[in-house]
Amino acid sequence: MRSSVSLVIPFHNRETLLPRTLQSVAESSLFPDHLVLVDNGSTDDSLEICRQWSRQQSNLRVTILRESTPGAAAARNRGLQEVDTPWVFFFDSDDIFDKDFLADIQPYLTEVLDFVAVPTRMVVKGREGVRRYRPTEDAACQILYSHLNTQAMVFRTGFLRKIGGWDVRCLIWNDWELGLRALLNKPRMRWLTAKAYHLISVHPDSITGVCFSDKSERLFEVLQIAANDIGMTTDAIARTRLMKALYLRYSILAGRLLAERDKTSAHECLQKRQELFGSVSVGLRLEGWIVKLLTSCHLPGTWRLAMSMV
């Protein structure tokens, strides 16, 4: 038996990590109907590793593609073009696939849903734990909390195509933006909470990396894209609330940049916020200042305070 899911894995120069990821997929208790591997301009042996591995798989339908446009979002969209199953799931080439994942979610992949969300596990500096996850369709929570990441989202293929797939302009935080855009499009959802899946590694060579300072310009670009997404919301009250959440997300990012002692990028972040929002109320300025200050002092969970403000 196979699942009704296509699994799409983009990769770029992952020759040392790909074998582990591919082996974890091969050990799945329920195989994906289609495995799509997308080479995103690798210059090492990643592509050949995938070719050799695919020839050894008698139980998996494997397609290997190449995408020259840089960025995981472009590679994922290339894989999405090849998907011929009702559901699609995206995975990263440096993580470990949970063997029970597809079997556990299959009963929920019905025609009455567009989107299934699951908790995930994460390893940061050798410490493993459940990645923060809040089962809510409140888009403000995604803005401030980022509870939907790549491995947390299983999409009905038609729904994902309808909302435009991955945004290739997002070279970082592309899953944060997609999760936000998906929620803004009001999908028929099911939130699963019984188990956290996969093992996601955060390391210096991962897409997001371990710090914000060296990717600040790209982060500012994604925040602007998110503002455009929110701007498409027709409900004026909801749009105002979500823009306030985004204002506070800028404040949190400025605080994190200050915590990394990057005053230049923090100042630029606040300038970008000013350019986007213009004049705001004294109350909102104060709330933003408080969130920025507490974040810069390494206080955990400032997103909760920010959520209470929206």
Most confident of 144-148, 233-237, 267-271: 267-271
Record: fold of 5-202: Spore Coat Polysaccharide Biosynthesis Protein SpsA; Chain A (3.90.550)
pTM attached to this predicted model = 0.95
256 sits in the region (left: phi over 0; alpha: psi -120 to 50; else beta) called alpha
Q: Say what the pLDDT of residue 217 is.
A: 95
- Cα distance between residue 129 and residue 310, in whole Å: 28
Tokens of 11: 């990769």
Question: pLDDT band at residue 211, thresholds of 50, 70 and 90?
Answer: confident
- Cα distance between residue 250 and residue 297, in whole Å: 16
Q: What is the DSSP letter of 31?
A: B
- Cα distance between residue 139 and residue 173, in whole Å: 15
Question: pLDDT band at residue 208, thresholds of 50, 70 and 90?
Answer: low
Domain boundaries, the chain: 5-202, 213-309
Can you tell me whether residue 39 is helix, strand or coil? strand
On the question of pLDDT at 132 being above 90, the answer is no
What would the mean pLDDT of 40-67 be, rounded to a whole number?
96
Show the CA angle centred on residue 239, arms to residues 238 and 241, nearest 5°. 65
Alpha carbons within 13 angstroms on the beta-carbon side of residue 143 total 26
Q: Using an 8 Å Cβ cutoff, are 184 and 229 in contact?
A: yes
Q: Using an 8 Å Cβ cutoff, are 91 and 7 in contact?
A: yes
- Cα distance between residue 157 and residue 162, in whole Å: 9
- Cα distance between residue 41 and residue 55, in whole Å: 21
**Strands 87-90 and 34-39: what pairing?**
unpaired
Q: Say what the pLDDT of residue 2 is.
A: 80
